[in-house]
Structure 1
């Protein structure tokens, strides 16, 4: 119950709904309990009238009054049930919305390392499985179980007044039944966690395969992926067989004990009536009360089953919610609009003694120091895995340096909110990473209500207008998930236009043309050249030809700075850049292979 209590605490803003549901449940329980007493009173009246020889009309009159009371209570109970059900349904949906939005908001605040280790499908599966399980249980509990539990408790009190031995038996059987169920639930929980793990892995792979369906199809791996998916769910079925056999076997044992005890209680009622300790009306009342009590107690296993699923779901949910957010987002309000105030004379970007390693790994970069002056174009060159993308991730605040510091216009980035930092940096990634909306929505993504004229200007600067005019709906054309309705070059030009629309003073180009054909590269490069005018640019390139016109080059070897200088100077310095240029100019097959091994292209 601690997990369920945690859910209630987490959703305490729904307290008014909870109170209405409790009030409706109490009323419907009281109405249900009134029925046996009306029936018992009528029984006693009719028996007494028959014994004394009273007119039949007296009995008829009593019956009419009893039926009117029954009708009035029944109608009021129907109204209370409807109100409670309505509030319960709305409450569960509000709970789902609340838990979902908080989950999503928390995910957006987690450090990048979390997403590096989790499959996207697994993250989505938790949202689906955990939250739906919790809210469905809350809905059923509100609409059914709460009134049942209240009714059972009231029956126990009433039985204690009429026949204490029966009340004692009922008071004993409930905790015994729960104890027997708890013996079952430990193994059930272990098996349920095993099932959840397999389902999350299956859904994670499902999302991954669907997102890369072209690769799966082109490599003819559909059957293999389907078999893997089937294996996951076959494992779930196998676990469910063991889980169900264990649960229902124990459930049968519990119900045998329960049936025996209720048979004993009925026997006691009839014996006490035969002995004259209970009237015939009392007999009717107690038999109906016992009939009302046996159903909820026998449903206890189903209730506990549902609650265990909710507990298992809440455990996964709160496991994610308990993860610490990105420390940088904790230090400053990420929604802040604080302006970036440059330090006079400071470079646009400065790396000072920066060292960083991913969790559990060796240093990815060590003691890196260089600057990007205001309006300067600086290129990062290294072999594959040399630390270029790591430096970009550090600049964007996706990770924090292990040692050293990074300054933006003279301000240490750890003193800036992440919103302020990232608003000052425009990025064009190697993968365009577009959304499934329209061309205009993707270009204007930096603002919630983008100006259409600015979108058109940005599109023109990035050579987007050239192909947008041929689309069926122009800028309002839906481009599909990840922009799959566009070609690779068109997607990249939209990404360049997105950065142009953002109009940030610092521009980061992370291998923005490495995956394009020659024509697409030329069109994208034209857009990039236009975009870099007047901006401080940090460029990561796989093609050395794309950085021939930069102001300076920083070469990295094994995560450390090898050389810094103008392209012309480094071309004859005998360092890494000259070595790579020599390989690029060579026409031999061996040298082309060596260049490829360095992670570069001609």
Structure 2
């Protein structure tokens, strides 16, 4: 419960709704409590008239009118408070969802290496939904009921201390018995959530790669895997629900005994003259009102436990350490964007004794890398798959911190430079075009605040993309679908080149954008890349020997260390990795093709 209260505290801007719900709950409780008193008075009047002891019909009519007024007031206040509760819940959902997404945008790349995309989405939906559903239920019905119960206990104390004691005993007893049950219940609930997260993660992966699934005819296997997690969740629910309802039966049996004692006391004391019939009716109504939250406690506790589990998961994500110098932190704090004195001298990029290892492992992917890259130079990284080529680029963009050593850009350590300023100096064209749903215009201008049509056309023309864009019915406003699914591979890559051209960053990183394209598409994209590389310091993660042959220098990596550095001509004769690749490129043997694949090289 502490975590739920903490969530309410983090959404302090909703205090007007909290206050309105409290006032409404008091009004609901007051009108609900007055009704039994009116009925008790009417009962006594009826008994008096029937017994010939006085009383008037007009009094009964006025009491009936009072009941009508109280009922109408109760209905109005119940719905007004419910309206506020609904508004609070949806606003809280918006706040929590925004903060969750904000937090995800702040987290370092390392976090996403260890989480499935679908799991992150599933966690958002489940945790926040469980929290808001609980608070909506609590504010709309249970909170007014709690105030009513407290008032009933006070009233009961006035009429019969013994009844008040029995009512007071009920609630802590029920909560204690429920708490004992909840410990085992929560274990099962977390296990079920794990299955839901895994199933949700796989679901998102399959939907996002449906062409692969259909191509390999794995529909049955994917459905079986997906269904298996839900079958396991069903099995856990059978145990969880069976245990819960067995214990609930025991709890209710204990309560029934207590209420038996309460009713027995009421009936006997009324028969003995301690209470009038009206007071007995009043007390029975109050006891029934007090009984309602107890009988509904199982649903409340069930909803509460789900909310607690959800809030724990929410705060677990929120407790993750942010990426250092994240742009969102600077925007939130209101701090001015710091200025950086970029050095215009060489080297533009330098790695000085850089080592790096992922996670908690002691195994290093990169070991003591030292390398300098000058302005306008084109450098290709070549090495075995998993040998650290992409990792070097990730360290340059500060997606990961170096374990040891220093990475510098324009004379500044990337560790000290705000991420936003650093990444604005770097343009990237990935092997996968990495487009978003939306229009061509939105994708080319991604990350740039204001772009004119002329700038868009210039970038598209230089990327060799304007021709196919003009042929589309809606031109730059054409919707391209999720990840650009409506475009060919070559078209998507040309848009990514245009995006990098429009960014106009002095440093360029190419994760060999043509390696997966056919010859015609490769020529079109390569023309755009040549335009893009002009005058920029470029790092190429090489996948084609034809690309490697045109660079200024080649850096070969072997087992996480720099093996050789030199021009293509120099390394062609040294007998190292590059020379070996050149010798293999004309071979058609299976073994030689396998060696090329080890180095991520395609023909």
- Rounded Cα–Cα distance in structure 2 between residues aligned with 1:3 and 1:396: 36
Matched residue, 2:350: 350
Task: Quote the Cα distance in structure 2 between the aligned partners of 1:102 and 1:266.
Answer: 51
1:375-423 per-residue CA deviation (whole Å, 9 max, x = no partner) reads: 2211112222221100011111110101111111111111111111111
User: Residues of 1 paired with 2:241 and 2:594: CA distance?
Assistant: 58
Alignment of 1:427-442 (within 5 A): 427-442=428-443
| Closer/same/farther in 2, CA of residues 448 and 93 from structure 1, 3 Å limit | farther
- Alpha-carbon distance between aligned partners in 2 of 1:443 and 1:321, rounded to the nearest angstrom: 32
CA contact (8 A) 1:347 1:409 kept: yes
What residue in structure 2 maps to residue 168 of structure 1? 165
Of 21-30 and 36-45, more deviation after overlay is shown by 36-45
- 1:456 aligned partner: 457
Which residue number in structure 1 is paired with residue 288 of structure 2? 291
SS across alignment from 1:404: strand
Is 1:4 paired with 2:4?
yes
**Where does 1:389-468 land on structure 2 (aligned, <5 Å)?**
389-468=390-469
Cα separation, 2, equivalents of 1:477 and 1:410:
42
Counterpart-to-counterpart distance in 1, 2:406 and 2:154: 70
2:153 equivalent to 1:152: no
- Within the alignment, does 1:226 sit opposite 2:223 as a pair? yes
Query: 167-176 or 355-364: which moved more?
Result: 355-364
Distance (Å, rounded) in 2 between the aligned partners of 1:331 and 1:67: 62
| Partners of 1:118 and 1:453 in 2: CA distance | 41
Aligned residues of 2:106 and 2:328 also touching (Cα < 8 A): no
> What's 1:14 paired with?
14
3-state DSSP of counterpart to 1:160: helix
Aligned length: 599
Q: Contact between 2:327 and 2:420, CA under 8 Å: does it hold in 1? A: no
| Per-residue deviation, residues 121-140 of structure 1 (Å, max 9, x unmatched) | 00000011111111111111
Q: Secondary structure, in 3 states, of the residue corresponding to 2:394?
A: helix
Question: Any conservation in 2 of the 1:111–1:398 contact (CA below 8 Å)?
Answer: yes
Quote the residue 1:530 is aligned against.
531
> What is the Cα deviation at residue 533 of structure 1?
1.0
1:100 & 1:347 partners in 2: Cα distance?
44
Structure 2 counterparts to residues 221-260 of structure 1, below 5 A: 221-260=218-257
Q: 1: CA distance between counterparts of 2:339 and 2:488?
A: 37
Residue 51 of structure 1 deviates from its aligned partner by: 5.6
SS at match of 2:573: coil
- CA shift digits 1:255-284 (9 cap, x unpaired): 111122112211111111111111222112
The Cα of 1:428 is off from its aligned counterpart by 0.4
Q: How does 1:48-87 map to 2 (within 5 A)?
A: 48=48, 53-54=53-54, 59-87=56-84
2:312 is equivalent to residue 315 of structure 1: yes
Change in 2 beyond 3 A, CA 1:591/1:183 = closer
SS in structure 1 opposite 2:350?
Answer: strand
- Whether contact under 8 Å (1:26, 1:147) holds in the other structure is yes
Q: 1:265–1:204: structure 2 CA closer, same or farther, 3 Å change rule?
A: same
Q: Which runs of 5+ in 2 are unaligned?
A: none
Provide, for residues 199-246 of structure 1, a one-character-per-residue CA deviation record: whole Å limited to 9, x for no partner: 111111111111111111111110011011111111111111111111
Q: What is the DSSP-based 3-state SS (H/G/I as helix, E as strand, rest coil) of the residue aligned with 1:285? A: helix
Q: Which residue is equivalent to 2:101?
A: 104
Distance in 2 between residues matched to 1:5 and 1:590, nearest whole Å: 64
CA apart distance, 1:569 = 2.1
Give the drift of 1:52: 6.6
Specify the alignment match of 1:271 in structure 2: 268
The answer for the alignment partner of 1:601 in structure 2 is: 602
Structure-2 separation of matches of 1:490 and 1:330: 31
Compute the displacement of 1:43 (Å). Answer: 2.6
TM-score (ref. length: structure 2): 0.96
Give CA deviations for 1:5-41 in whole Å, capped at 9, x if unaligned.
Answer: 2222222222221111011011101110000111112
Instruction: Check whether the contact 1:334–1:418 (CA below 8 A) recurs between aligned residues.
Output: no
SS in 2 for 1:363: coil
Q: How many angstroms apart in 2 are the aligned matches of 1:23 and 1:332?
A: 37
Q: Give 1:493 deviation, angstroms.
A: 1.0
SS of alignment partner, residue 438 of structure 2: coil
Q: Deviations over 1:264-306 (max 9, x none)?
A: 2111111111111112221121111112111221111111111
2:198 is aligned with 1:197: no
Residue by residue over 1:18-72, the C-alpha shift from the partner in whole angstroms, topping out at 9 and shown as x without a partner, is 1110110111011100001111123334444566754xxx522222322332233
Matches within 5 A, 1:301-312: 301-312=298-309
Matched, 1:557 2:554: no
Q: How much is the aligned-residue C-alpha RMSD, in angstroms?
A: 1.8
Task: Give the structure 2 partner of residue 490 of structure 1.
Answer: 491
Matched residues in 1 for 2:331 and 2:88: separation? 31
